Structure 1
Amino acid sequence: MTTSPSRRPLALIAGASLALLAGCGSSSDSGSDGSSASDSASSSTAKITVVASTNVWGDVVEQIGGDHVDVTSIISDPDQDPHSYEADTQNQLTLSKAKVVIENGGGYDDFVDRMLKSGKSSAEVINAVKVSGKTAPKGGELNEHVWYDFPTVAKIADSVAAALGKADPADAATFTKNASAFKAKLTALEAKEAQIKKEHAGEGIGITEPVPLYMTTASGLVNKTPEEFSAAIEEGSDVSPKVLQETLALYSDKQVKALVYNAQTSGPQSVKVENAAKAAGIPAVPVTETLPKGKDYLGWMTSNVDALASALAK
């Protein structure tokens, strides 16, 4: 999704209650012993309070911060379409207490910026799309799903280490060390993509939404799906009969080696594509926008890349 108004940004429930909560969040909370929250935060054992818009970025923070961070991920349900999420006053309160905030950006989670501004937050904010340096191609739209781009995630790891080090200078070296270890594992994932590219460069794949495109492009694969189809599915709008038939023909004519589809969203037209791939004996690779239960970021992405390699080898 991009910042275009036709897209589906994550929803925000606005109202006077948000302003009220913003005011509440700025006041000190007193403990039973009379000490303030700020007194507790200054102790050597206090954790850095971090809020992430999704559990993808929340897990990255946990990998780097370890026991030094207390992370809240706003969107974490693997069975829910993240685009249907409705932010509420509890999210406002949570954000108001954060020392560090990590958002995706690119129009994906605009509610975070709006809530931070309404609450006059002083949190250190990391915007993944801004850190990535990615922009929309000429005449096209930005693919904001940058967590599928491993070089971008490496940049985010460095940004997280820097932000945590600023909040907790005594442990800055630990955060830098953890980020280096995390990036080394990302390099291993890039090597897997390079191997796919070596074996399958130029082969076609189909998608339902742009979610996996950074991964498939890095693997040397060519997306054959009409842009009108994937854009309409992502926006939740109808696909024209002509574009739908062009898309289905990719499978009946076996123009693609695999379908890489967003398993977190589903509709009649995307289901038709999945059924067309199945009928043609073309393997399907499900991907998601948030972490599946029981997975961390690295394990999740390893499964995704391995599943892609296995599908292409069939």
Structure 2
Amino acid sequence: MHNRLFALPLVAGAAALALTGCATSSASGDASSDGKIAVVASTNVYGSLVETIGGEHVDVTSILNDPSQDPHSFESSARTQLAVSQADLLIENGGGYDDFMTTLADASDTKADTINVVKLSGLDKGGDTEFNEHVFYSYPTMVKLVDDVTKRLSALDEGDEATFEKNADALTTKLEDLESQTADLKKTYDGEKVSYTEPVPGYLFDAIGLDNVTPEAFAEAIEEGDDVPPAALNKTLQLFSAKTVRLLAYNDQTSSPETEQVQKAAEDNGIPVVGVTETLPKGEDYVSWQQANIDAVQAALQK
């Protein structure tokens, strides 16, 4: 698995502010006074799902929530530390993706339960195969997460259990519809070759039956922030000059000279480029974001 390059300078001042409550309060900072369940999620992907389930009964802090932010880098603040220290529930991706959550939790000495979505997914089988930690593109995993979040919110606020379950049922229906759409697309596009700059949409591609043929050395170097081996770059560029692939999925939140070169090669050869992200675009919730991803992939495959 890949270890994401998150920087976490927990300076003494930030830690002290978190412990004394002198930092600017986050949404979850008022949880004890307003009676809402305080939830801290590593990204707004998970925060969106909690908000949909919990509604007005939760205060959610999503640590990474800027669509223009490179999710491979993160700097803690006193506000973030305070939110974690006062949380009733923490949600992390896991799989080496957001190790800063463990660091924050340890520094705050929080007693809140933590949902590790990679562990919940059951997708990491171990072994020598590289694990794709972007499990937020796996709809069956999100169904599991919705169920787990609902149970935990209900345990924290038994009086609103019926509301949580009703909201969760509606959300699960929408997630299952996304699954159904990808299953339908698989009937037409199973086995079609595609490429990506990073394995962000890997589980979506798997659900549609698409065959990613990007050289592993290229995608791994990009994800780790390393220089791409020249041979891997050349092989990747040949996918587009030879028109081997139907589309390129490009991570809009990270770029490098190599990824820009690959994007240009795709465009020059008439290969559709589909932008993907690791956090929610502004104004989107989880379902609308993933619906847009499905629609974009389908439109590219139809060209």
Tell me the TM-score normalised to structure 2 length.
0.93
Q: Any idea what the Cα deviations from partners look like across 1:107-151, whole Å, max 9, x if unmatched?
A: 111111112122211112111111111215532222111110000
Question: Distance in 2 between the 1:40 and 1:305 partners?
Answer: 41
Q: CA RMSD in A?
A: 1.8
Question: Distance in 1 between the 2:121 and 2:67 partners?
Answer: 25
1:78 equivalent in structure 2: 67
Q: For residue 156 of structure 1, give the secondary structure of its aligned residue in structure 2.
A: helix
1:313 equivalent in structure 2: 302
2:19 equivalent in structure 1: 23
1:233 is aligned, of 217, 222, 225, to 222
Give the paired residue count. 297
- Structure 1 stretches of 4+ moved >4 Å: none
Contact 2:18 2:79 in 1 (8 A): no
2:148 equivalent in structure 1: 159
Are 1:40 and 2:33 matched, yes or no? yes
Q: Which runs of 5+ in 1 are unaligned?
A: 30-36
Question: Distance in 2 between the 1:16 and 1:87 partners?
Answer: 12
Question: Distance in 2 between the 1:86 and 1:142 partners?
Answer: 25
1:205 equivalent in structure 2: 194
2:139 is aligned, of 136, 140, 150, to 150
Contact 2:40 2:61 in 1 (8 A): yes
Q: Which runs of 5+ in 2 are unaligned?
A: none
CA positional deviation for 1:39: 6.8
Question: Distance in 1 between the 2:216 and 2:157 partners?
Answer: 45
Q: For residue 286 of structure 1, give the secondary structure of its aligned residue in structure 2.
A: strand
Question: Distance in 1 between the 2:75 and 2:263 partners?
Answer: 28
Tell me the TM-score normalised to structure 1 length.
0.90
1:249 equivalent in structure 2: 238
Q: Any idea what the Cα deviations from partners look like across 1:158-202, whole Å, max 9, x if unmatched?
A: 111011111101111221221111111011101111111100110
Q: Any idea what the Cα deviations from partners look like across 1:258-279, whole Å, max 9, x if unmatched?
A: 1111111111000111011101
Question: Distance in 2 between the 1:275 and 1:137 partners?
Answer: 36
2:9 is aligned, of 10, 13, 16, to 13
Greater gyration radius:
1
Contact 1:12 1:88 in 2 (8 A): no
For residues 48 and 275 of structure 1, do their structure 2 counterparts lie closer, same or farther at Cα, with a shift above 3 Å needed?
same
Output the amino acid matched with 1:278.
E
Question: Distance in 1 between the 2:298 and 2:126 partners?
Answer: 28
Summarize the alignment of residues 52-67 of structure 1 with structure 2, pairs less than 5 Å apart: 52-67=41-56
CA positional deviation for 1:219: 0.4
Once the two structures are aligned, what percentage of the paired residues are identical?
51
1:278 is aligned, of 244, 252, 267, to 267
2:289 equivalent in structure 1: 300
Question: Distance in 1 between the 2:290 and 2:31 partners?
Answer: 38
